[in-house]
Chain A
Amino acid sequence: DGGITQSPKYLFRKEGQNVTLSCEQNLNHDAMYWYRQDPGQGLRLIYYSQIVNDFQKGDIAEGYSVSREKKESFPLTVTSAQKNPTAFYLCASSGLGTADEQFFGPGTRLTVL
């Protein structure tokens, strides 16, 4: 089946550790996105990429890093510089047209202990 997979579903991290969240899509989409969602809030854009080996900062990129070495993959690293990393992280992909819908993965819930 075509879609987006994120792993792991739940992740626990100690303060001061970096952690990488996986996102893979087999929809042949050019664009991929990472969002953060806090309880009761909407989604906030962390990073997005429209082409391999290129990505752009979103509204809240500080403390996060990404790579786009393959069209199918867009991993997100939450670094120790992110002061409040506990949140629900969502990956999405889409075509490049302004009418194109975004397809979302199931999300990763990160908790910092």
Chain B
Amino acid sequence: GESVGLHLPTLSVQEGDSAVIKCTYSDSASNYFPWYKQELGKGPQLIIDIRSNVGEKKDQRIAVTLNKTAKHFSLHITETQPEDSAVYFCAAVTSGGSYIPTFGRGTSLIVHP
């Protein structure tokens, strides 16, 4: 089955800096890659996603890039703000298969004011 790995359990940045969180996946059939943000006491919320036929997608300060050859995808947050502090989860999905996302362990992003 699919395995999703995260490179950093914790990432600490200063407000205004950029943050990059990288994930790897194992199944080359995976073709949909969402990122979820989980704030304390809340469930994960989808913040951005990308499909395998696209290399990059942007939404205001957030972007996701995908490298299918290397089987990794990254979340980029620019001009970080304290409210960006949360745990970020990457996931991989095989559309046309089970449609069930396999989640990584999560990176705790801490943005210092």
The answer to whether A and B come from one shared complex is no
* A interface residues with partner B (beta carbon < 8 Å): none
